[in-house]
Amino acid sequence: MTNPSRNKREIGVARYEQGAFSSRGDEIACEEPLEIRVSGDTFAITMRTPGHDRELALGLLFAEGVIKGVDDVATVTHCGRTGDAGRENTIDVRPVSTAKVVLPDELPGRRGTLTTSACGVCGRQSIDDLLERCTPLPLGATLPADAILRAVSSLDGAQELYALTGGCHAAMLSTFDGERVAAFEDVGRHNAVDKLIGAMLLLKKLPLAGHILTVSGRASFELVQKAAVAGIPVLASVSAPSTLAVDLATRANVTLAGFVRGAAMNVYAGVERIT
């Protein structure tokens, strides 16, 4: 398990205030590379906040279509000997012998790449193959508008690392009834969502009908794609969506709400799910 103390570090800074400098310590969110391997072959190198690497790897592989569920996975382990420098920055996912996994070099349109903490599907040459996996979600249960407002309002309470550092994103899962299910933080908003979905994958909770995915920052195409693949019908963000996010949400029948602040929000897709 990754050492929790690695997700932040205190750094000395020169503070300028009221016309003078002073010395002080400042908590900074950590960012380190994580190499994700599948059966020993590199799948991606992503910049992330250390912690919950297992969930991150599985969430990413599920979103990309490499695995169909946790039953496809035999082991998820950090590589190298305990105590080795950099051991916790490489993780290998080994599928069970009977699993029909899609290996990295078999994914259509994929190319080897370094992905950043702000990057969700940078390893793809085309988005077409990702769109194919976003089949429309059923309408299912409806929810009141207040449920979305309350979910976003409660996001602050799930951001412990942000409260210390001011330098990371959060993804939170809650039910239509307002129960908080899980929350994760990371320097990358896509990583935070992958960690959350990976955690639900390990619990065999997918698909996540009747749930709201709440994210800090903007709602990008990649976040809508991850929500749709996980079967999450509602994605709510404190900021704006992109045009491609709106297009995909409409296609996948995901309710997409942006600028959710106080008692107001913009609903860009799937308004029929809100009562």
Check residue 2 and give its pLDDT.
Answer: 43
Check residue 145 and give its pLDDT.
Answer: 95
What beta strand segments (E) does the chain contain? 8-17, 20-29, 32-38, 41-48, 73-78, 90-95, 114-115, 169-175, 180-186, 211-215, 234-237, 255-261, 264-269
Could you tell me which residues are beta bridge partners of residue 269? 256
Token pair recorded at residue 176 = 């239509």
CA distances from 237 to 81, 224, 242 (A): 41, 11, 12
184 pLDDT band (50/70/90 cuts)? very high
pLDDT digits (tens, 9 = 90+) for 2-48: 455 678 889 898 788 888 889 989 899 998 999 999 999 999 998 99
Give catalytic residue positions: 119
For residue 125, give the DSSP letter: S
∠ CA 23-28-29 to the nearest 5 degrees? 180
115 pLDDT band (50/70/90 cuts)? low
Report the 10 Å Cβ neighbour count for 10.
12
Q: What's the whole-number average pLDDT of the chain?
A: 87
Domains in the chain and their CATH numbers?
32-132 (3.10.20.10), 145-273 (3.40.140.10)
pLDDT at residue 143 tops 70: yes
Cis (ω within 30 of 0) for the bond into 207?
yes
- Cα–Cα dist 255/260, whole Å: 13
pLDDT at residue 135 tops 70: yes
